């Protein structure tokens, strides 16, 4: 594959100005062109290329596919600047598809799209590449010993989709390819790469019809990474952000109910996390001020959730305890700042403190 890509780049840089003519074929007269050959070839060279193309097409029509492939390969390798070169690649791709050698067909289509974008319909060429990538993703299995079907090659499918994004970033197939890549990574349990692909989709293609689904999938992926209220909540925050962004940008989408349910659940998880941390300060540290801050945050995040109800109960408990102990607020934020003298006395005590009772 590396050699193919290197060859592709070399041709693109050397022959980027090649223009593909309108060619016609009939069994009697062979190939005909409505344009003058501008490749700079000598008349005898042009005739040689034409003879190879006609021989290849006749062999193809008669079912002699190997001979046809040899002729087309000779045209493309020896005279890549000829107007017949992209036609030779296209005929090669069609033979490879007939032979069910879809990887070879993809290579031919890729060369056409990258080196000869003016040949035929560029969008149709990208479409053929996309079809092959989807087959690699969903159904195509290479035969083991030519008999037993092997496994799906997801790595190759990803590589094909990514090539489509690189060659045709402004086509409709680019966001489709990124969505397929994200689905493959999700199936392989690689959430990091799935998130990366989806993020590229919504960033680079905000107007694609797939963007709303990408937001939902991103939010759900982040939500599924949350291990519970006792763990880091960065993924919960990301899930909330994507659910909220979806609801703001696509209020009429048919997945609004799903987004609202997801937002409620993730907000409840975030609020519950605040409650659990607040419980630590309340029950383990008797730090009523810190606990109240966290309980109030839980209520703000998800005011109608069960976690918010728990937070309200805990706030009432703190108020009752403070009233019983005669405490107004023992929070660090409301304490008076220590004077310079108090700070100096504390420093002296620390300096006199012995290490291990000896030093």
CA dihedral 110, 112, 118, 122 (to 10 degrees): -40
pLDDT score of 217: 97
Average pLDDT over residues 188-200: 96
Q: How far apart are CA 88 and CA 53, in angstroms?
A: 7
Q: How far apart are CA 211 and CA 302, in angstroms?
A: 27
Which CATH number fits the domain that encloses residue 30?
Answer: 1.25.40.10
In a domain, residue 149? The reply is no
In a domain, residue 33? The reply is yes
The more confidently predicted of residues 14 and 140 is 140
Question: Do the Cβ atoms of 232 and 216 come closer than 8 Å?
Answer: no
Angle at alpha carbon of residue 317, lines to 316 and 320, rounded to 5°: 85
How does 305-333 read in b/e, with b if 16+ C-beta sit within 10 Å?
bebbbbbeebbeebeeebeeeeeeeeeee
In a domain, residue 195? The reply is no
Q: How far apart are CA 234 and CA 178, in angstroms?
A: 24
The closest of 90, 62, 96, 65 to 75, measured between CA atoms, is 90
In a domain, residue 6? The reply is yes
In a domain, residue 80? The reply is yes
pLDDT at 80 over 50: yes
pLDDT score of 329: 59
Give pLDDT tens digits for 163-176. Answer: 999 999 999 999 99
In a domain, residue 250? The reply is no
3-class secondary structure, 148 = strand
pLDDT score of 351: 60
H helices of the chain, in order, are 2-14, 43-61, 65-78, 85-98, 102-115, 122-138, 154-167, 173-187, 191-204, 211-224, 234-249, 256-279, 288-301, 306-325, 340-352
What CA–CA distances, in Å, run from 58 to 91, 100, 321?
Answer: 12, 21, 96
Query: How would residue 34 be classed by pLDDT, with cut points 50, 70 and 90?
Result: confident
pTM as predicted? 0.80
Average pLDDT over residues 76-89: 94
Supply the range of the domain harboring residue 60: 1-120
Question: Do the Cβ atoms of 79 and 39 come closer than 8 Å?
Answer: yes
Average pLDDT over residues 40-68: 94
In a domain, residue 307? The reply is no
pLDDT at 324 over 90: no
In a domain, residue 180? The reply is no
pLDDT at 48 over 80: yes
Q: How far apart are CA 225 and CA 196, in angstroms?
A: 15
pLDDT score of 176: 97
Query: How would residue 122 be classed by pLDDT, with cut points 50, 70 and 90?
Result: very high
pLDDT score of 38: 72
Number of independent structural domains in the chain: 1
Query: How would residue 231 be classed by pLDDT, with cut points 50, 70 and 90?
Result: confident
In the chain, the percentage of residues whose pLDDT exceeds 70 is: 83
Query: How would residue 147 be classed by pLDDT, with cut points 50, 70 and 90?
Result: low
């Amino acid at each position: 594959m590396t050699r193919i890509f290197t060859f592709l780049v070399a041709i693109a840089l050397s022959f980027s100005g090649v223009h593909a003519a309108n060619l016609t074929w009939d069994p009697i007269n062979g190939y005909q062109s409505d344009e003058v050959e501008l490749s700079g070839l000598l008349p005898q060279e042009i005739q040689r290329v034409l003879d190879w193309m006609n021989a290849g097409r006749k062999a193809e029509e008669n079912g002699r596919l190997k001979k046809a492939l040899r002729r087309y390969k000779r045209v493309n390798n020896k005279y890549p600047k000829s107007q017949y070169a992209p036609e030779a690649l296209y005929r090669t791709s069609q033979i490879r598809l007939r032979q069910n050698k879809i990887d070879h067909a993809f290579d031919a289509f890729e060369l056409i799209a990258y080196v000869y974008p003016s040949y035929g319909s560029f969008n149709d060429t990208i479409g053929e590449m996309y079809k092959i990538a989807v087959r690699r993703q969903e159904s195509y299995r290479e035969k083991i010993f030519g008999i037993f079907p092997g496994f799906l090659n997801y790595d190759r499918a990803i590589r094909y989709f990514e090539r489509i994004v690189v060659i045709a970033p402004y086509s409709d197939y680019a966001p489709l390819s990124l969505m397929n890549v994200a689905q493959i990574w999700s199936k392989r349990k690689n959430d990091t790469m799935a998130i990366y692909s989806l993020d590229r989709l919504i960033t680079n293609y905000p107007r694609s019809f797939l963007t709303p689904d990408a937001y939902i999938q991103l939010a759900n992926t982040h939500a599924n990474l949350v291990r519970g209220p006792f763990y880091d909540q960065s993924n919960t925050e990301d899930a909330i952000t994507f659910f909220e962004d979806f609801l703001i940008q696509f209020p009429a989408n048919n997945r609004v109910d799903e987004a609202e349910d997801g937002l409620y659940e993730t907000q409840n998880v975030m609020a519950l996390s605040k409650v659990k941390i607040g419980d630590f300060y309340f029950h383990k540290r008797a730090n009523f001020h810190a606990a109240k801050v966290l309980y109030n945050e839980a209520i703000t995040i998800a005011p109608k959730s069960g976690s918010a109800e728990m937070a309200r109960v805990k706030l009432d408990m703190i108020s009752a305890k403070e009233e019983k102990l005669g405490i107004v607020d023992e929070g660090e934020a409301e304490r008076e700042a220590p004077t310079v003298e108090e700070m100096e006395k504390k420093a002296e005590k620390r300096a006199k403190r012995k290490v291990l009772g000896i030093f």
